[in-house]
Structure 1
Amino acid sequence: MNGFEQSLKSAMLDLIPHVQLKADNAENAQIEQVLSRLNTHAMVERAQPYITSDVILQTNQELMGVRLQGLFSGYNNAVSKHIELGKLQTLDKKKYQLVLSRYLANKLGIGVGDKVRVILPEVTSYTPLGRVPMQRLFTVAALYNSKSEADMHLAFSDGKSLRRLMRRADNSDLDISITLKDAFALVPFYASVTDLLSRYEKDDWQTQQGALFAAVAMEKRVMSMLLGLIVIVAVFNILSALSMMVREKQGEVAILQTLGFTPNMIGRVFMVQGLYNGLVGTVIGLILGLIVASNINEVLDILGLSLLGGAKLPVLFSPIGLISMATASIAMSFIATLYPAKKAANVLPAEVLRYE
């Protein structure tokens, strides 16, 4: 579940802003000041100017609606590491260049170097034929493949060309895109930059993808509950085993008491025995679990089981989670020893040894 959540986070949240700031009529000097402060923030991976629009891509074969993002030179971006064909640097050298996903390129029937018409329904102009949407031919400069849902609806161009197409001024109307080192750390991030964000309207990834990750979190909680029930069954096994041991070893307990063992000492003997079982079981379980989880895809291949499309199960170990589970397992094992230890401490030597 940790690996699945991490793969979703890296795939789906990598290409979209984690936080988007919008201030109407913000001057470039003000934006640069905010960007400079954000890029030095400990929780921010990168902050950059941001402009986007919903557009229609048209070719002779297909017509598709996508979200077009503008990239500005001098700033890091997430799409560069996903480029498969072409060069992203072409966006800085030429006007009206486009970066498409491999999925969109296949659907539109085009490749690197081909032309595609970009239509902006929200921006219109007057012509002799009436009011028509703004449109322009773009050249496909590169293809990317992030292997995520973003491939189905996200394209990129250089920010200046997109601003020109949207008829925006060169010194205002830019948003700010913020990518955090941990996309789930929105609350502490907002708390640390309250004064900076007070002048901006803010939006974050939870608006678009929050429902999906809430469902994943619910699945993790259900999975934790199921694993907890399994541990509880094991705890009851320890409880029943120790209770049977107390019943079977009453004679030995009575003899130890006659040799000078106090009831507390007798109770500690059984508590140590039960805790030892829980400790050894937890250690063995952790070792075997780590080995199997590390090689889960190889194990599935050996068993002849495979996921659809040849996909591999993602695995991510959480040290805090492992320590928490091990601690809880040992603690529950200890709690399970209290009742049998109390029963053993209450054994009366005279009654047990009466017929010996």
Structure 2
Amino acid sequence: MFQPVSLFVGLRYSRASKGNAFISFISFFSIAGIALGLMSLITVSSVMNGFEQSLKSAILDLIPHVQIKQSEQLDKQRMTALEQHPLVKRVTPYLVSEVILQTNQDLVGVKLQGQFAGYSNTLDTQIESGSLATLHNNKYQLALSRYLANKLDVGIGQQVRVILPEYSTYSPLGRTPTQRLFTVAAIYNAQSEADTYLAFADGKSLQRLMRKSAEQFDVSVHLHDAFELQAFYQEASPLLSGLQYQDWQTQQGTLFSAVAMEKRVMSLLLGLIVIVAIFNIVSALSMMVSEKQGEVAILQTLGFTPNMIAKVFMAQGMYNGVIGTIIGLFGGLLLSSNINESLHFIGLNLLGGAELPVKFEWRDLVILTMASVSLSFVATLYPAKRASNVLPAEVLRYE
């Protein structure tokens, strides 16, 4: 006989085709509920992870993860140690200033970031037209986002007046902000919020406007993963001691906190579907216990202990939970992988032909799967306890 015997009897009850139709109906919907709930959780979680990854790539790759000010305080030994830190991707000289870009069409306030030639960056992968080589090889060149170029109505080779309110010069008319005509050398498209407020210039040209020497610049530290900021601070605290610095959370922390909160709320709401399905397991097993009291009593007379009886109904409930979890897991992976094709099939198209980004976090998948199975197990405890308390003498008295 199939061993252990409690599992054998429990699976026989689960797969039995005959019996109370209403109980079978509830059992079916408990499996369907768990599958749909888990599938929705995996799909939403994967899309939100993809959205978060897209934001991180589009925004955080363009700005310093940690900006160290006054580089003259950062000696060569500490600079080398920072570059060799396992969490650090690159360390580069860096300048930034609040400026106003002005044309005959419009004016807009942006952050003008100075990048120095000879150092790697991610801007070159987002260039739509023009060239970063032109930006670095010629004086007073500018890289604008597609959004800013359209707003200012300029293209490659046209000029934009750059005004630095923080720096001023004396003229016959009095003190006036430092300003200079820049030529548009490149247009990039990060497809993120950074497009609305970020422009780039060669670091040496920006140094001249800010009246800084060649040795005066800030230092940009990019991590392999921007979200490992706290771990970096803990490990590199001796290297940062005595330095003035700020990180990306100052500018973008609110945005990513909002995305993380939205992901948690969506997961909580969709998790309620799984919880409702778990209650269906409790209902189905409770009714099954009431219906099978006679069979439970007979099993006890054949030598089943209360503990074995409890395991019979726990096996039956876990069968529904595990089957629903497996269907939901594979259904969620399949739907997430083909979410854009599914939207196109039902006639839903995102604005501008954009597609939903998808990223699978295997840790999240394991947690969701284990949580579903664990809740299914918890749901079996009460009905199994009831079954184990059945007294065969009372049940079989009038049989």
TM interval, shorter chain, is: over 0.9
Give 1:225's aligned amino acid: L
Higher relative CO (Cα under 8 Å, sequence separation at least 6) belongs to 2
Task: Write the deviation string for residues 74-107 of structure 1: whole angstroms up to 9, x where unpaired.
Answer: 2111211111111101233221111111221122
Note if 1:16 corresponds to 2:44.
no
- RMSD across aligned positions (CA): 1.6
Give 1:247's aligned amino acid: S
Secondary structure at the aligned position of 2:226 is classed as: coil
Give 1:322's aligned amino acid: L
Tell me the equivalent position of 2:207: 163
**In 2: Cα distance, 1:243 partner to 1:99 partner:** 68
**In 2: Cα distance, 1:219 partner to 1:84 partner:** 32
Tell me the equivalent position of 1:206: 249
**In 2: Cα distance, 1:33 partner to 1:132 partner:** 41
Pairing partner for 1:248 from 284, 291, 298: 291
**In 1: Cα distance, 2:237 partner to 2:60 partner:** 23
Residue identity over aligned pairs, in percent, reads 65
Aligned partners of 1:86 and 1:142 also within 8 Å: yes
Stretches of structure 1 that go unaligned for 5 or more consecutive residues are: none
**In 1: Cα distance, 2:53 partner to 2:94 partner:** 25
**In 1: Cα distance, 2:78 partner to 2:188 partner:** 30
Alignment of 1:315-330 (within 5 A): 315-330=358-373
Pairing partner for 1:147 from 191, 216, 221: 191
Secondary structure at the aligned position of 2:227 is classed as: coil
**In 2: Cα distance, 1:251 partner to 1:128 partner:** 106
Tell me the equivalent position of 2:108: 64
1:137 is displaced (CA, Å) by 1.9
Pairing partner for 2:169 from 125, 145, 156: 125
Secondary structure at the aligned position of 2:359 is classed as: coil
Judged with a 3 Å threshold, the aligned counterparts in structure 2 of structure 1 residues 159 and 84 are, in CA distance, closer, same or farther, namely same
**In 2: Cα distance, 1:137 partner to 1:307 partner:** 39
Task: Write the deviation string for residues 17-62 of structure 1: whole angstroms up to 9, x where unpaired.
Answer: 1111113x716xx455444322222112222111111112222222
**In 1: Cα distance, 2:351 partner to 2:61 partner:** 24
Secondary structure at the aligned position of 1:199 is classed as: coil
Alignment of 1:270-289 (within 5 A): 270-289=313-332
Give 1:90's aligned amino acid: T
TM score, norm. by length of structure 1: 0.94
Secondary structure at the aligned position of 1:293 is classed as: helix
Aligned partners of 2:67 and 2:221 also within 8 Å: yes
**In 2: Cα distance, 1:158 partner to 1:261 partner:** 82
Give 2:290's aligned amino acid: R
Task: Write the deviation string for residues 181-237 of structure 1: whole angstroms up to 9, x where unpaired.
Answer: 221111111001101111211211111111222222221221222133222111111
**In 1: Cα distance, 2:309 partner to 2:172 partner:** 101
Alignment of 1:48-63 (within 5 A): 48-63=92-107
**In 2: Cα distance, 1:328 partner to 1:61 partner:** 57
Give 1:249's aligned amino acid: K
Aligned partners of 1:35 and 1:48 also within 8 Å: no
Tell me the equivalent position of 2:30: none
TM score, norm. by length of structure 2: 0.84
Pairing partner for 2:72 from 6, 26, 29: 26
Deviating beyond 3 angstroms after TM superposition, the runs of 4 or more aligned structure 1 residues are 30-35
Give 2:384's aligned amino acid: A
Tell me the equivalent position of 1:4: 51
More helix by share: 2
